[in-house]
C-alpha cells in the first residue's frame, strides 16, 4: 500500500498530472483522435494554469491551516509528540550534520515546548519514507540535534518504523501505552494537523493539537496571481497532497470524517 501511494502521487501531483495529460493529448492527436487529444491537452493546460497563476492551491492550503488554531498553553504536559518530515535525510547521509526542510518549525516548536515543560517526554515519530528505505528517519536523525539542546537522552522516545501518518499514529499509540503517557501535545505542520488529529482520534489517542510551520498568511482570497508562479505551484502541490490524504484515509475507514473538526 505504501509503494502504491508513492507511485500514485508521482502521477497525481499537479505538475506531473499536467505533463502526462498533455503527453496523452499529443499521442491521441497523433493517432487521429483529435477531439480526445484536445480534451487531454486542455485539461493539462488548465491544471497547469491554475497551479501556477491562481491562488486556488494556497487558498485550499490555508483552509487546512486555519482548521486547528494554536491553543493556550496548558498547565502541564506529560508528553510532546512531534511527527517527522522535517529532516533532509538524503542530504544528511551524504554530508552529515543536521539539515532541515521547510518543516523545520516542527522541531523548533518542540524545543520551545520542551523548555516550557521540562518534565515532558519527547516522542519523535518518523521512519524512512523514501522508496529505497536507505536513510535514517526523523526519529533517528533528531537524536543528536535534540541532545545538543539538552532535550535528548532518557527524555527522548524514538518511533523509528513509521512511513505514513497512519503508521505515525498507530505506532505512537503503542509507545504511549508502554510508557504510561497521556496529556500529550501533538506538534506537526498546520496544514497536516487535520489529517493527523483525525487519525489519532480514530485510535482513541487524546492529544492537544499544536500546529506550526504555517505556509500561508491566513488572509488569502481566491483570484489570479502572476507574481510568484513557482511558489503557487509548490503550495498547490502541498494542498493537493494533503486533501487527497484526507479523502483517502476517510474512504479507507481510518478517520471518521474528511475534515476533522477542532
- Is 119 part of any domain? yes
Is residue 207's pLDDT more than 90? yes
> How much of the chain, in percent, has pLDDT values that exceed 70?
98
Q: Are 42 and 87 found together in one domain?
A: no
Q: Are 37 and 139 found together in one domain?
A: no
Q: Are 50 and 151 found together in one domain?
A: no
Q: Which of 128, 146, 121 is nearest to 84 (CA)?
A: 128
Contact 159, 172 (CB under 8 A): yes
The CATH number linked to 139 is 3.40.50.620
pLDDT digits (tens, 9 = 90+) for 219-243: 999 999 999 999 999 999 999 999 9
d(CA 152, CA 107): 12
pLDDT digits (tens, 9 = 90+) for 22-54: 999 999 999 999 999 999 999 999 999 999 999
Is residue 129's pLDDT more than 80? no
Contact 90, 136 (CB under 8 A): no
Angle at 134 between CA 129 and CA 136, to 5 degrees: 70
d(CA 233, CA 7): 20
pLDDT of residue 3: 79
Q: Are 122 and 235 found together in one domain?
A: no
Q: Are 201 and 245 found together in one domain?
A: no
- Is 262 part of any domain? no
All cell numbers assigned to 64:
487546512
Is residue 131's pLDDT more than 70? no
- Name the band, by pLDDT with cuts 50, 70 and 90, for residue 76: very high
- Is 117 part of any domain? yes
Mean pLDDT over 198-213 rounds to 98
Q: Are 135 and 233 found together in one domain?
A: no
Mean pLDDT over 73-90 rounds to 95
**Residue 39 domain boundaries:** 2-65+228-251
d(CA 169, CA 53): 36
pLDDT digits (tens, 9 = 90+) for 95-111: 988 899 999 999 999 99
Instruction: Give just the sign of the alpha carbon dihedral 43, 47, 53, 59.
Output: positive
Is residue 132's pLDDT more than 70? no
d(CA 191, CA 66): 8
Is residue 169's pLDDT more than 90? yes
pLDDT of residue 203: 97
Q: Does 133 or 23 have the greater pLDDT score? A: 23
Mean pLDDT over 206-218 rounds to 98
Give pTM, 2 decimals.
0.93
Q: Are 155 and 97 found together in one domain?
A: yes
pLDDT of residue 2: 75
* Residue 135 per-residue DSSP state: S
Q: Are 183 and 123 found together in one domain?
A: yes
- Name the band, by pLDDT with cuts 50, 70 and 90, for residue 5: confident
> How many domains is the chain partitioned into structurally?
2
pLDDT of residue 133: 66
Q: By three-state DSSP, how is residue 100 classified? A: strand
pLDDT of residue 137: 87
φ/ψ (deg, to 5) at 141: -65, -30
Amino acid at each position: 500500500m505504501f509503494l502504491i501511494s508513492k507511485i500514485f502521487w508521482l502521477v497525481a501531483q499537479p505538475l506531473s498530472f499536467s505533463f502526462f495529460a498533455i503527453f496523452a493529448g499529443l499521442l491521441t492527436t497523433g493517432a487521429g483522435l483529435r477531439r480526445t487529444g484536445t480534451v487531454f491537452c486542455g485539461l493539462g493546460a488548465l491544471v497547469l494554469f491554475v497551479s501556477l497563476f491562481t491562488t486556488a492551491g494556497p487558498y485550499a492550503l490555508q483552509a487546512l491551516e486555519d482548521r486547528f488554531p494554536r491553543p493556550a498553553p496548558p498547565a502541564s504536559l506529560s508528553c510532546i509528540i512531534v511527527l517527522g518530515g522535517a529532516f533532509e535525510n538524503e542530504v544528511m547521509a551524504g554530508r552529515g550534520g543536521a539539515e532541515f526542510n521547510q518543516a523545520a518549525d516542527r522541531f523548533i516548536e518542540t524545543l520551545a515546548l520542551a523548555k516550557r515543560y521540562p518534565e515532558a517526554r519527547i516522542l519523535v515519530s518518523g521512519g524512512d519514507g523514501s522508496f529505497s528505505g536507505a536513510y535514517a528517519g526523523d526519529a533517528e536523525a533528531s537524536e543528536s540535534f535534540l541532545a545538543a539542546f539538552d532535550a535528548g537522552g532518557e527524555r527522548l522516545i524514538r518511533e523509528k518504523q513509521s512511513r505514513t501518518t497512519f503508521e505515525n499514529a498507530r505506532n505512537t499509540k503503542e509507545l504511549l501505552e508502554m510508557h504510561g503517557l497521556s496529556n500529550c501535545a501533538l506538534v506537526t505542520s498546520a496544514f497536516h494537523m487535520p489529517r493527523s488529529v483525525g487519525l489519532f482520534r480514530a485510535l482513541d489517542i487524546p492529544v492537544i493539537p499544536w500546529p506550526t510551520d504555517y505556509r500561508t498568511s491566513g488572509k488569502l482570497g481566491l483570484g489570479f496571481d502572476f507574481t510568484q508562479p513557482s511558489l503557487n505551484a509548490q503550495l498547490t502541490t502541498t494542498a493537493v497532497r494533503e486533501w487527497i490524504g484526507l479523502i483517502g484515509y476517510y474512504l479507507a475507514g481510518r478517520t471518521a470524517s474528511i475534515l476533522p473538526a477542532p
